[in-house]
Structure 1
Amino acid sequence: MHTVVERELELRLILSPERGIPVPARLAYRTDDPYAVHVCFHIHSEHPVNWTFARDLLVEGVFRPCGHGDVRVWPSKTGGRCSVLMALTSPDGDALLEAPAAQVSAWLERTLRVVPPGSEGEQLGIDDGLAQLLAQ
Structure 2
Amino acid sequence: MALTTVERELVCQLVLEDGRSVAVPTRLVYRTDDPYAVRVAFHTDSDTPVEWCFARDLLIEGVFQPTGQGDVRIWPGKTPRTMGFVYLLLAVPGEHALLQVPALALSAWTERTLRVVPAGSESSPSGD
**TM-score (ref. length: structure 2):** 0.89
Instruction: Give the secondary structure class of the aligned counterpart of 1:72.
Output: strand
Distance 2:65 2:97 in 1: 19
Deviation by residue 1:19-66 (Cα, 9 ceiling, x = unmatched): 000000000000000000100000785121100000001100000001
Residues 46 and 118 from structure 1, CA distance in 2 versus in 1: closer, same or farther, beyond 3 angstroms?
A: same
Cα distance in 1 for partners of 2:54, 2:69 equals 12
Give yes or no for the alignment of 1:121 onto 2:123.
Answer: yes
Q: Who is 1:73 aligned against?
A: 74
Summarize the Cα distance change of 1:110–1:50 in structure 2 as closer, same or farther, 3 Å threshold.
same
Question: Partner of 1:121: helix, strand, or coil?
Answer: coil
TM-score, normalised to structure 1, is 0.84
The amino acid across from 1:20 in the alignment is S
Q: Percent identity?
A: 56
State the superposition RMSD in angstroms. 2.0
Q: Which stretch has the larger CA shift, 18-27 or 40-49?
A: 40-49
The structure 1 segments of at least 4 consecutive aligned residues displaced by more than 4 Å after TM superposition are none
Give 3-state SS (helix, strand or coil) of 2:34's partner.
coil
Query: How many residues align structurally?
Result: 125
Give yes or no for the alignment of 1:108 onto 2:110: yes
Question: CA distance change for structure 1 residues 17 and 74 in 2, over 3 Å: closer, same or farther?
Answer: farther
**Contact 2:76-2:83 at 8 Å conserved across structures:** no
Partner of 1:36: 37
Is the 1:34–1:123 contact (alpha carbons within 8 Å) kept by the matching residues of 2?
Answer: no
Q: Give a deviation string over 1:41-100, Cα, whole Å, max 9, x none.
A: 007851211000000011000000010000000000452651000000013621000000
* Structure 1: distance between partners of 2:115 and 2:121: 11
Question: 1:62 maps to which residue?
Answer: 63
- The equivalent residue for 1:130 is none
Q: CA deviation at 1:18?
A: 3.1
Task: Answer 1 or 2: which has greater helix percent.
Answer: 1
Say which SS state the counterpart of residue 60 (structure 2) adopts.
helix
Aligned position for 1:128: none
The CA distance in 2 between the partners of 1:44 and 1:30, in whole Å, is 26
